[in-house]
Structure 1
Amino acid sequence: MNTATFDVIVVGGGNAAFSSAHAASERGRKVVVLERGREDMAGGNSFYTAGATRIAHDGMASLKGLVEFDDRHEVTEVPPYSTDDYLADLIKVTDGKTDRDMADVLVSESHDAVRWLNGLGLKYRLMYERQAYAREDGTYLFWGGLHIGNVGGGEGLVADHTAVAKRLGTEVRYGIHVTGLILDRGKVVGVRATDDEGNGHEFHAESVIIASGGFESSPELRREHLGAGWENAKVRGTPYNEGDMITAALEIGAAKGGDWSTCHSVQWDAEAEQNESNRELTNRLTRQSYPLGIIVNRNGKRFLDEGADFRNYTYAKYGREILRQPGSVAWQIFDATLRPMLRTEEYDMPGIGVHTADTIEGLAHAMGVDPAALVSTVETFNAAIDRNVPFDPTVLDGRVSLTEPLKSNWASPIETGPFYAYPVTCGITFTFGGLKGDLHGRVLDETGAPIPGLFACGEALGGLFSGNYPGGSGLTAGMVFGRRAGMIA
């Protein structure tokens, strides 16, 4: 048995893990980060993200000095996004189920946490290609409250974090699978682990921070807690988030936190050759221009309001709606007018799933859907559009199609060939249920008392999200609560 001693052990190697490690290292703690993946598979779910980070701010002027220079800045409008806006969005999308105390901390410390990381060496930019529309006058308007992201996306995020850890003297060990917690008279004093060669290890420390994600990579736990059918969802991110450390904490008396019955899930390419844990395409297998078109199932029928709100407020819950459809598959449909407006990084690359045809009937045949049903759906949708309202994707334009289900915004007729159908299924990102903690990430037992020596942050800490979440707030939560845990561990 190999043994080693540190002040702080961080289990996990993603954004939350590194945020907690940096905060502890800045205090002079001797820190080790234990990453299950080898170096070429490291970074947790963070590697697979686009790096989008939701923070409160006062508009463009308050972001200068934080984001990397871009010559488009002078013709760009970034609406202010206040802490009140942020909190209102959290409450709205979770149907009021967010933990209000945690939410208050998240929104009030979001900007400062990103500034802190930027000061350490993480690089940010305005996300033009994902969160802004070019207007006819040559200016750009950002929308949906989510404006900045990491330079280089998730890959850049992890690379920057790793460089900071090295500079701060944090030791990072790869290929270490932590399997259990070590207790001494009720206090967590370390972890047990194995390496890739099967050798056993014990790491001892004053504090252990669990930052190893949720249980979304475990088909068994997905089925148990999310319900039947969830074992068939595609894993978007790391294959290693199997809930091992959450289970280990529960075994020593930790309480569950948050909503264990729901998760973050998106519309995901159903036909790409490698559509799970793809480290080359990462987030680009999402299909997130759906508010512009319509979505139909195998019966050729629409089943949700594609334009209910900005994508940032609906995309994380629509994956489960796809899962509920026949065969757990659906198609996003656009015509030639809409096609140039789709996200280039997601819809313009080789090897993705797409069907094209010059007619709706031909498109239906390519999809394997009944032509008469699809033609009826499209014609009904087109006929019910209020064409007196201008189409404007930069705002909630109220251009409705009075069909069943309603399309509340951005209803544009599907009428000009060629037509495009993108097959989508459910891609699971992370689970919302985790461990119960206080506002500093100290893990609590069933009585509400902290378990000495044990902390949690990131996706392992439950309470913030339920049913849905505002896009970009997951990375921010990892930074805010990771920093808090590292400041006292």
Structure 2
Amino acid sequence: MRTVYEGVDDLRALMPDLSDREIATTDFGTYSAEAFYGDMARVTDYRADPELVDVLVGRSHETLAWMAGKGVRFAPAYGRQAFKVDGRFRFWGGLTVEVVGGGAGLVEREHKLAAEAGIAIRYNSRAVELLTDDSGVHGVTAVVDGVTTEIRAGAVVLATGGFQADAEWRTRYLGPGWDLAKVRGTRFNTGEGHRMALTAGASPAGHWSGCHAVGWDRNAPEYGDLAVGDGFQKHSYPFGIMVNAEGRRFVDEGADFRNYTYAKYGRRILEQPHQMAWQVFDQQVTHLLRDEYRIKQATRVEAATLEELARRLDGWTPRGSWRRSQRSTRRCVRTSRSTRR
């Protein structure tokens, strides 16, 4: 959860369980509003909506503090954003805070808070149309347990995700080949919210031909797996190289911190032959790889030489040559065609 903070006191307001020992052994640094604004401008080529960015940055800390006050627990993102340097953990990239339990922990806590507040959650219910007239929106038409039902409301918030689970919409808006991408999340995010809003006369906005797309294990299921979660992602590429099916590099793996490149490299992978790539690491960096490389579902190949590794890489049809090396054990973990969040 990216948030502005000027020092440890700001972080302690979000993480009251932060111990004196953790503070003594960690360099949390700072993440100023200016740095947040700068990151938003840089990674979006200055195309982000300035009013929305102002809300995102200016209210980031107070929003997390409000969530913490509701019982959402935060912790330092040691496993994702910190490395030990000279005996102290050092955070990098301005991303310091995560929810305890990750996304699943956040959802579980939000469901508990909703129940405590008397908010009813209706399952097996699919909204299909907004109830509108000349004076505005007054609810939804939904199919609840197979029965079409009108649900009246004073206001409707469409928090329905994107259209990533609809292959036709992916291809229509993101471009050729996107029907081949794997979906990181639920199979139910098919753009129904977008359709309802546009039908009701909403004005489309945003970057319709772009998306959050990451490297994903090629042998992962077509949709998200609740048991594995985000373990199919492969984000340690800055410690190695990525090569396509022809054995050629196609990105600068160290162009920036992983925070700022991982969500766009999925598109680059999808553009490669066979919509796949291999990540290659040597034994000197395997201890730095994220935990997702160690799950049993990860696709991996190990070899003592590059020549032997090349023979073992499924789907690799080299047209060039790799520099010879006999000294290090090489590990390769394959990424997916791409994944759309």
Q: What TM-score, normalized by structure 1, do the two folds share?
A: 0.67
Q: Distance in 2 between matches of 1:265 and 1:378?
A: 30
Aligned residue runs from structure 1 range 180-199, under 5 A: 180-195=129-144, 197-199=145-147
CA distance in 1, matches of 2:43, 2:198: 28
| Counterpart Cα distance in 2 of 1:56 and 1:427 | 31
Match of 2:294 in 1: 348
| 1:237-260 Cα deviation digits (max 9, x unpaired) | 111111111111101111101110
> Does residue 240 in structure 1 map to residue 188 in structure 2?
yes
Deviations 1:192-243 (A, max 9, x none): 1112x31112110111111111111110100000001001111001111111
Tell me the residue number matched to 1:417: 328
Partner SS, residue 149 of structure 2: strand
Query: Matched residues in 2 for 1:329 and 1:427: separation?
Result: 8
Q: Does 1:148 align with 2:97?
A: yes
User: In the TM superposition, what are the counterparts of 1:166-177 in structure 2 within 5 Å?
Assistant: 166-177=115-126
Equivalent in the alignment of 1:362: 308
AA aligned to 1:356 is: E
The answer for the alignment partner of 1:338 in structure 2 is 285
CA–CA distance in structure 2, aligned partners of residues 358 and 87 of structure 1: 46
Partner of 2:83: 133
The structural deviation recorded for 1:370 is 4.8
Q: Percent identity?
A: 38
Letter in 1 for 2:199: E
- Deviations along 1:324-355, whole A, 9 cap, x unmatched? 00000000000111111101x21111121001
CA offset digits 1:26-73 (Å, max 9, x no partner)? xxxxxxxxxxxxxxxxxxxxxxxxxxx111111223101312335433
Q: CA deviation at 1:138?
A: 1.5
Q: CA deviation at 1:415?
A: 6.4
| Alignment-derived partner of residue 204 in structure 1 | 152
Check 1:126–1:415 CA distance in 2 against 1; reply closer, same or farther (3 A cut). Answer: farther
Whether the 8 Å contact between 2:72 and 2:106 is mirrored in structure 1 is: yes
Distance change in 2, residues 1:183/1:419 (3 Å): same
Match of 1:94 in 2: 44
SS state of the match for residue 298, structure 2?
coil
Deviations 1:291-342 (A, max 9, x none): 0100000100111100000000000000000000000000000011111110
Q: CA deviation at 1:371?
A: 6.6
The whole-number CA distance in structure 2 between the counterparts of 1:153 and 1:165 is: 18
Q: Shift of the alpha carbon at 1:372?
A: 7.9
Structure 1 pair 324–57 and aligned structure 2 pair: CA distance change class (3 A): same
CA contact (8 A) 1:294 1:306 kept: yes
| Counterpart contact for 1:334–1:419, Cα < 8 Å | yes
The equivalent position to 2:3 in structure 1, one of 35, 55, 69, is 55
Query: Within the alignment, does 1:109 sit opposite 2:59 as a pair?
Result: yes
Residue 314 of structure 1: aligned partner: 261
RMSD, aligned CA: 1.6
Q: 253, 260, 277: which one pairs with 2:224? A: 277
The answer to whether the 8 A contact 1:335-1:415 is kept is: no
User: Which ranges of 4 or more aligned residues in structure 1 deviate by more than 6 Å?
Assistant: none
Q: 1:377 aligns with which of 305, 317, 322?
A: 322
Q: 2:241 aligns with which of 276, 294, 298?
A: 294
Q: Distance in 1 between matches of 2:55 and 2:311?
A: 52
Cα drift, residue 271 of structure 1: 2.2
Matches within 5 A, 1:259-274: 259-272=207-220, 274=221
The TM-score, its normalising length taken from structure 2, stands at: 0.95
The one-letter amino acid of 2:184's match is R
CA contact (8 A) 1:360 1:371 kept: no
Q: What's the CA shift string for 1:350-401, capped at 9, x where partnerless?
A: 121001111101111110435783xx3345xxxxxxxxxxxxxxxxxxxxxx
Are 1:223 and 2:171 counterparts? yes
Asked whether the 8 Å contact 2:238–2:258 carries over to 1, the reply is yes
Given that 2:275 and 2:336 are in contact with CA atoms closer than 8 Å, whether structure 1 keeps it comes out as: yes
Q: What is the distance in 2 between the residues matched to 1:378 and 1:310?
A: 26
Task: Name the CA shift for 1:112/1:416 in 2 (closer, same or farther; >3 Å).
Answer: farther
Q: Check 1:155–1:418 CA distance in 2 against 1; reply closer, same or farther (3 A cut).
A: same
The farther-off stretch of 162-171 and 317-326 is 162-171
CA distance in 2, matches of 1:314, 1:323: 15
Q: Work out whether residues 270 and 338 of structure 2, in 8 Å CA contact, stay in contact via their aligned partners in 1.
A: no
User: Does the 8 A contact of 2:13 with 2:65 survive in 1?
Assistant: no
In the alignment, what sits opposite 1:485? Answer: none
CA distance in 1, matches of 2:154, 2:285: 57
Residues 370 and 223 of structure 1, relative CA distance in 2, 3 Å threshold: closer
RCO higher in structure (CA 8 A, sep ≥6):
1
1:304 and 1:415 mapped to 2: Cα distance?
Answer: 25
**Partner residue of 1:8?**
none
* 2:24 matched residue in structure 1: 74
Displacement of 1:427 in angstroms is: 3.6
Distance 2:222 2:334 in 1: 12
Q: Name the amino acid aligned to 2:308.
A: G
CA distance 1:416–1:173, change in 2 (3 Å): farther
Give the match's secondary structure for 2:30. Answer: coil
